[in-house]
């Protein structure tokens, strides 16, 4: 099996070049196993360039005269990413039985079966893969619209007219029949919500009713497995057209039963369908910007019907955990051939994903790579959630060990000189970036610093601290190993501990924080002390 997995070798510009001025005719290149070189009267020449093993540079490494060079690897890696060669090679190896994924019985991962390296496991990701994020510089200029049919004007192709005096209430029996009818014609999931101004694409163009029935239709394997291009886009358009027709049929069903309805075609431009579906509790928006649902994962098209029914059975959304899962996974970012998903670092050390719409070819070429590589498209929703919950439980258990009262009592005593000069009642909290349930509260009482562990949801109703130090889990553990304040100060200086103030500069000065902050290399109102 070739390492370019069926991609034409002639299109991969990878082969050696000989600088004959440097060549000392050492002959080492003639040991090439691929027989790329040929010996002539003038020394070695590149005779069979496309027999060169892609990525190999052995001859250049061993060349005595440093006369052999190869192209830059960056364009090669970009080609492999765009053409999904890495994924195809892995698939071929798996199908050939040469690659087996073995699980680690001692590790429950979040988004795949394989065990991740320690540095990845500690972050809670089960992928086990990490590549440097792409720069957000030199992004394409924003253009209006795209080359597909989305955003167009799709009139309601109804057969039935709205009743003159539409009904506004529906009992549970009718809702049940409505859902049974919708499922029978090809609708996968149904949710209910109300339309708010934020969900409108054009604030000046509102639907007839704010009561919304949200529908999803699952994408077929033909679309998911198709490579981006004209054929894939034709399948993609057919999906939108099919869901549009199903939406019109359900709207007519409502009208036949005495309710008014306005159908919103999935290619229409009235509402933002994905946020609307999340609000309807059908699922949650993933890192790739797509709705992820228990029924279909990320593979669905969405439409809606605005209706006169005022008592639609709105449900609570229980899928918000997906957001945290996606942050730990990131497979869709690596899968995108156009770099439309870019992971960036926030000002406080966190990460967020930026979707560059102008780069995405899902709408214009039917690309579904981010869907195909999503764990929710490969595994059952409940299986992923169970693994995620188990992983979270282990992480919280590990984190909670660092919220030990005795550990912090000892730390406060060893660092008591730091807190000299603070007045009675001065309060400082220490939080862990990965834990939003507990904090350490340090309260100055006379010459002592009293330590207590607080549960954010149970013990605190409003901010009680003057300052907060936010520390990463792995760095928090380092504090306990240091008998001085050096490690604490070093972490602040390096930006690994983020400092936040909840009081004004004058209030902080009144409580004696000027000396405290000076000892930490900070100052009131300075860049190192966030407001």
Which DSSP helix (H) or strand (E) runs through 515?
A: helix 513-519
| Domain-located, residue 225 | yes
Calpha distance 502→531 (Å, rounded): 7
Residue 293 φ/ψ, nearest 5 degrees = -125, 155
pLDDT for res 525 = 63
Per residue in 366-403, is it b (16+ CB within 10 Å) or e — as a string?
A: bbbbbbbbbbbbeeebeebbebbeebbeebeeebeebb
Counting other chains too, the contacts that 434-437 makes at CB distance below 8 Å and 24 or more residues apart are 434/124, 434/395, 434/399, 434/472, 434/473, 435/396, 435/399, 435/403, 435/473, 437/396
- Longest CA pairwise span in the chain (Å): 96
- Let me know whether 375 and 467 are in one domain: no
The pTM score is: 0.61
Overall domain count for the chain: 3
pLDDT for res 128 = 34
- Let me know whether 446 and 301 are in one domain: no
pLDDT for res 460 = 58
| Domain-located, residue 347 | no
Q: Give residue-wise pLDDT tens across range 62-90.
A: 999 999 999 988 888 778 766 777 767 76
* CA angle (427, 428, 429) in 5-degree steps: 125
- Let me know whether 187 and 236 are in one domain: yes
Tell me which of 24 and 157 has the higher pLDDT: 24
Per residue in 104-114, is it b (16+ CB within 10 Å) or e — as a string?
A: eeeebbbbbee
Please report, in angstroms and rounded to a whole number, the separation of the first and last CA atoms in the chain. Answer: 59
pLDDT for res 112 = 30
Calpha distance 445→424 (Å, rounded): 5
Helix-, strand-, coil-residue percentages of the chain, each rounded to 5: 35, 20, 45
| Domain-located, residue 118 | no
User: How does DSSP classify residue 50?
Assistant: G
Could you tell me the CATH number of the domain that includes residue 473? Answer: 3.30.1050.10
- Let me know whether 238 and 383 are in one domain: yes
| Domain-located, residue 132 | no
Please report which confidence band the pLDDT of residue 461 belongs to, taking 50, 70 and 90 as the band edges: low
Calpha distance 355→37 (Å, rounded): 46
| Domain-located, residue 161 | no
End residue of a domain, out of 58, 80, 102: 80
C-alpha distances in Å from residue 214, one per residue of 253, 320, 321? 15, 18, 21
How many Cα atoms occupy the beta-carbon half-sphere of 414 within 13 Å? 16
Is the pLDDT reported for residue 424 higher than 70?
yes
Calpha distance 46→505 (Å, rounded): 71
Counting other chains too, the contacts that 404-410 makes at CB distance below 8 Å and 24 or more residues apart are 405/451, 405/452, 405/453, 407/480, 408/440, 408/451, 408/453, 409/451, 410/480
Calpha distance 284→191 (Å, rounded): 13
Q: Give residue-wise pLDDT tens across range 433-456.
A: 878 788 999 999 988 999 999 887
Q: What is the CA radius of gyration of the chain?
A: 30
Could you tell me the CATH number of the domain that includes residue 59? Answer: 3.30.70.20
Is the pLDDT reported for residue 131 higher than 50?
no
The β-bridge partners of 429 are 441, 468
- Let me know whether 510 and 380 are in one domain: no
| Domain-located, residue 434 | yes
Q: Give residue-wise pLDDT tens across range 278-315.
A: 999 999 999 889 999 999 999 999 999 999 999 999 99
Answer for the pair 69, 17: CB distance below 8 angstroms, yes or no. yes
Calpha distance 402→432 (Å, rounded): 9
- Let me know whether 255 and 309 are in one domain: yes
- Let me know whether 409 and 380 are in one domain: no
Helices (H) and strands (E) in the chain, counts: 20, 17
Calpha distance 429→470 (Å, rounded): 8
- Let me know whether 264 and 383 are in one domain: yes
End residue of a domain, out of 54, 80, 106: 80
End residue of a domain, out of 23, 57, 80: 80
Taking the CA atoms of residue 519, residue 522, residue 525 and residue 528 in that order, the dihedral angle to the nearest 10 degrees is -160
pLDDT for res 393 = 86
pLDDT for res 189 = 97
C-alpha distances in Å from residue 419, one per residue of 7, 54, 363, 485? 65, 61, 58, 11
Average pLDDT over residues 400-422: 89
Answer for the pair 265, 176: CB distance below 8 angstroms, yes or no. no
Tell me which of 107 and 248 has the higher pLDDT: 248
Please report which confidence band the pLDDT of residue 416 belongs to, taking 50, 70 and 90 as the band edges: confident
- Let me know whether 443 and 375 are in one domain: no
| Domain of residue 477, residue span | 402-519
| Domain-located, residue 159 | no
Calpha distance 441→451 (Å, rounded): 6
Q: Can you spell out the DSSP letters for 29-42?
A: GGG-TT--EEEETT
- Let me know whether 381 and 509 are in one domain: no
Q: Is 145 left (phi over 0), alpha (psi -120 to 50) or beta?
A: left
- Let me know whether 415 and 302 are in one domain: no
- Let me know whether 230 and 379 are in one domain: yes
pLDDT for res 136 = 42
Could you tell me where the DSSP H helices lie in 401-510?
Answer: 405-414, 456-459, 473-480, 486-493, 505-510
Is the pLDDT reported for residue 479 higher than 60?
yes
| Domain-located, residue 205 | yes
pLDDT for res 156 = 60
Q: Give residue-wise pLDDT tens across range 310-333.
A: 999 999 999 999 998 998 888 999
Q: Can you spell out the DSSP letters for 317-349?
A: ---THHHHHHHHH-HHHHH-TT--EEEEE-TTS
């Amino acid at each position: 099996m070739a390492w370019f997995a069926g991609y034409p070798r002639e299109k991969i510009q990878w082969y050696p070049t000989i600088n004959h001025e440097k060549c000392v005719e050492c002959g080492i290149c003639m040991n090439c196993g691929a027989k790329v070189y040929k010996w002539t009267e003038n020394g070695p020449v590149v005779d069979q360039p496309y027999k060169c093993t892609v990525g190999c540079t052995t001859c250049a490494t061993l060349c005595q005269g440093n006369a052999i060079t190869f192209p830059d690897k960056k364009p090669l890696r970009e080609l492999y990413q765009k053409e999904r060669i890495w994924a195809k090679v892995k698939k071929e190896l798996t199908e050939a039985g040469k690659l087996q994924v073995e699980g680690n019985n001692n590790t429950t991962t979040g988004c795949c079966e394989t065990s991740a390296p320690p540095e990845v496991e500690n972050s809670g990701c089960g992928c086990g893969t990490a590549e440097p994020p792409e720069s957000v510089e030199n992004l394409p200029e924003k253009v209006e619209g795209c080359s597909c049919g989305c955003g167009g004007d799709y009139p309601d192709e109804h057969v039935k007219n709205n009743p003159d005096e539409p009904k506004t209430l529906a009992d549970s029996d009718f809702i049940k029949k409505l859902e049974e009818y919708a499922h029978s014609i090809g609708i996968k999931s149904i949710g209910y919500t109300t339309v708010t101004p934020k969900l409108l694409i054009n604030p000046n163009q509102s639907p007839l009713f704010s009561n919304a029935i949200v529908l999803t239709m699952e994408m077929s394997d033909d679309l998911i497995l198709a490579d981006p291009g004209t054929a894939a886009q034709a399948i993609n358009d057919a999906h939108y057209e099919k869901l549009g027709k199903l939406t019109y049929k359900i709207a007519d069903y409502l009208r036949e039963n005495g309710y008014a309805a306005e159908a919103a075609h999935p290619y229409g431009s009235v509402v933002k369908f994905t946020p609307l579906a999340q609000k309807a509790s059908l699922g949650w928006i993933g890192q790739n910007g797509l709705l992820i649902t228990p029924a279909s994962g990320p593979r669905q098209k969405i439409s809606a019907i605005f209706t006169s029914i005022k008592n639609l059975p709105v449900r609570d959304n229980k899928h918000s955990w997906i957001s945290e899962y996606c942050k730990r996974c990131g497979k869709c970012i690596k899968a995108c051939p156009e770099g439309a998903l870019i992971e960036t670092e926030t000002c406080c050390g966190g990460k967020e994903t930026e979707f560059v719409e102008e780069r995405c070819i899902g709408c214009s070429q039917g690309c579904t790579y981010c869907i195909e590589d999503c764990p929710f498209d490969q595994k059952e929703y409940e299986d992923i959630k169970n693994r995620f919950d188990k992983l979270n439980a282990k992480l919280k258990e590990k984190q909670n060990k660092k919220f030990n009262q005795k550990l912090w009592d000892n730390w406060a005593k060893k660092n008591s000189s730091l807190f000299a000069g603070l007045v009675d009642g001065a309060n400082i909290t220490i939080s862990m970036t990965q834990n939003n349930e507990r904090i350490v509260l340090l309260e100055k009482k006379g010459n002592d610093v009293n330590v207590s562990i607080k549960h954010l949801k149970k013990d605190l109703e409003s901010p009680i601290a003057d300052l907060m130090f936010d520390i990463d889990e792995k760095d928090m553990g380092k504090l306990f190993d240091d008998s001085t304040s050096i490690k604490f100060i070093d972490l602040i200086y390096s930006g690994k501990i983020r400092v936040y103030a909840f009081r004004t500069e004058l209030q902080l000065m009144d409580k004696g924080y000027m000396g405290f902050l000076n000892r930490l290399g900070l100052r009131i109102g300075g860049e190192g002390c966030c407001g």
